[in-house]
């Protein structure tokens, strides 16, 4: 029987990355609780795999990362431009409400560029105004909605419902009580119940892009919170891909095998051939439960459990940072 592993989303990366990064800063008391070193395979050298691998290494485990592509970074892909700048083909920016991404960037000394995508121009009910010119907004907003950014007001309305941006970005959200309480509400219902004016509802609808006012509130609140909860937007100077490359350099190129797709993980009875104990999967790979010692098939290594041949060269994983 084969089962697909979950792929980490941006939300889960926020949490998992946070938890693992937190582990790297373990206090002596926590370090004493660390289990004995083990051999761990990490599948996928995207942000989830790299942050997991670094955290495991710092806890004393031996790690090997197997990566399908000839590069690290996964969906973080920067295309260099002639003037030293970069065009982002994958993850384009991160926000102030992604504290662990910011912490990693700071840790590796990567310079940030501040972007501002929070100041669009609105066309609502036949009137146009700039988000930057809050004082002159022509719409009949409630007094408490005036001279305040749309996102601040959204946070206030979420707060009235007992929600905040950090809570709703937790993968465990929503709890059963919240599901029961909010499941029949659309976004516009939620705003109106919190006291929003019709003008504010229309403005948020104009801002919300793929989220419509009729969308089920429970489904879109995390996306809204992510995009509006914090309007401070950043990008890494020279390309966001510098972050996974810096992680790869810290992990060590000799621990990263590139161009070696994992075809399957066999955890059946014959699964004791792998020299590795547990595996961390950040990529979708056919997987046979239950979890035991894994025997591993990679397309190039051929034989299960064999030590992978191609180590990552410095140029490809950023060890020359
Ligand atoms: C166009 C685009 C724009 C985006 N914009 C943003 C943004 O602005 N802000 C933001 O925060 N996020 C953004 N994202 C999302 C962000 O890029 C991802 O959430 C994040 O990079 C996912 O990291 P990950 O490690 O979970 O997965 P991935 O980056 O997908 O990493 C998985 C890795 O596993 C490897 N792999 C897959 N199968 C196998 C296999 N069988 N064997 C070995 N290796 C395998 C893959 O090659 C890959 O390197 C964007 C994504 C895209 C595509």
Residue 240 Cα to ligand 1 midpoint, Å, equals: 12
Last residue of a domain, one of 200, 230, 260: 230
Separate counts of helices (H) and strands (E) for the chain: 12, 15
pLDDT the model gives residue 26: 39
Q: In this structure, is residue 131 part of a structural domain?
A: yes
Domain assignment present for 103: no
* 273 assigned to some structural domain: yes
Q: Is any ligand 1 atom within 6 A of the Cβ of residue 8? A: yes
Q: Are residues 223 and 264 in the same domain?
A: no
Instruction: Indicate if 125 and 209 belong to the same structural domain.
Output: yes
Q: Does the beta carbon of 283 lie inside 6 Å of ligand 1?
A: yes
Ligand 1 mean position, distance from CA 6 (Å): 13
Q: Tell me whether residue 110 is in a domain.
A: no
Q: ∠ CA(281), CA(283), CA(288), 5° rounding?
A: 60
**Ligand 1 center to 76 CA (angstroms):** 6
For residue 237, tell me if it sits in a domain.
no
Residue 67 CB–ligand 1 contact under 6 Å: yes
Whether 92 is covered by a domain: the verdict is no
Number of domains within the chain: 2
Q: Looking at residue 115, what is its pLDDT? A: 80
Pairing verdict, β 3-4 and 94-95: unpaired
The count of residues in the chain is: 321
Residue 64 and residue 42 in contact, taking contact as beta carbons nearer than 8 Å? yes
pLDDT (0 to 100) of residue 8: 36
The CATH number given to whatever domain includes residue 218 is 1.10.405
Same domain, 126 and 72: no
According to the model, what pLDDT value does residue 321 have? 23
- CATH code of residue 69: 3.50.50
The pLDDT value recorded for residue 28 is 45
Q: Same domain for 131 and 162?
A: yes
Final residue in a domain of this structure, among 174, 195, 230: 230
pLDDT at 51: 96
For residue 196, give its domain range. 121-230
> Atom 50 in ligand 1: which residue has the minimum CA distance?
91
Same-domain check for residues 257 and 197: no
52 CA distance to ligand 1 centroid (A)? 14
pLDDT averaged per 10 residues in sequence order, the chain, 321 residues? 35 43 44 74 95 95 94 96 89 84 94 76 90 88 91 89 84 90 93 96 81 87 77 88 98 95 70 57 61 54 40 40 23
List b or e across 223-237, with b for residues whose CB sees 16 or more CB atoms inside 10 angstroms. Answer: bbbbbbbbbebbbbe
**pLDDT (0 to 100) of residue 282:** 73
In a domain, residue 112? The reply is: no
Predicted local confidence at residue 119, as pLDDT: 67
In a shared domain, residues 291 and 199: no
pLDDT in the model for residue 288: 56
pLDDT of residue 18: 42
Give domain status of residue 111, yes or no. Answer: no
**What is the C-alpha separation between 259 and 41, in angstroms, rounded?**
15
């Amino acid at each position: 029987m084969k089962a697909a592993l979950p792929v980490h989303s941006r939300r889960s990366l926020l949490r998992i990355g946070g938890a693992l990064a937190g582990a790297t800063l373990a206090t002596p008391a926590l370090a004493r609780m660390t289990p004995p070193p083990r051999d761990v395979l990490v599948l996928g050298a995207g942000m989830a795999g790299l942050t997991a691998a670094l955290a495991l290494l710092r806890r004393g485990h031996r790690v090997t990362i197997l990566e399908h592509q000839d590069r690290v970074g996964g969906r973080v892909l920067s295309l260099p431009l002639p003037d030293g700048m970069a065009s982002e083909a994958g993850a384009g920016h991160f926000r102030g409400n992604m504290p662990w991404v910011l912490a990693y960037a700071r840790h590796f000394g990567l310079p940030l560029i501040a972007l501002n995508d929070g100041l669009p121009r609105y066309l609502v009910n036949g009137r146009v105004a700039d988000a930057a010119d809050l004082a002159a907004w022509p719409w009949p907003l409630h007094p408490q909605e005036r001279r305040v950014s749309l996102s601040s007001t959204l946070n206030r309305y979420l707060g009235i419902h007992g929600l905040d941006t950090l809570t709703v970005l937790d993968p465990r959200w929503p709890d059963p009580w919240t599901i029961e309480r909010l499941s029949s509400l659309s976004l516009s219902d939620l705003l109106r119940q919190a006291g929003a004016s019709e003008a504010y509802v229309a403005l948020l609808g104009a801002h919300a892009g793929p989220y419509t006012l009729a969308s089920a509130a429970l489904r879109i609140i995390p996306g809204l919170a992510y995009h509006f909860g914090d309007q401070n937007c950043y990008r890494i100077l020279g390309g966001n891909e510098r972050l996974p490359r810096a992680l790869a350099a810290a992990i060590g190129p000799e621990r990263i095998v590139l161009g070696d797709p994992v075809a399957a993980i066999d955890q059946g009875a014959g699964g004791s051939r792998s020299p590795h104990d547990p595996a961390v999967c950040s990529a979708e790979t056919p997987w046979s439960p239950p979890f035991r010692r894994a025997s591993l098939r990679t397309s190039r290594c051929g034989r299960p459990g064999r030590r992978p041949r191609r180590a990552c060269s410095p140029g490809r994983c950023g060890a020359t940072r």
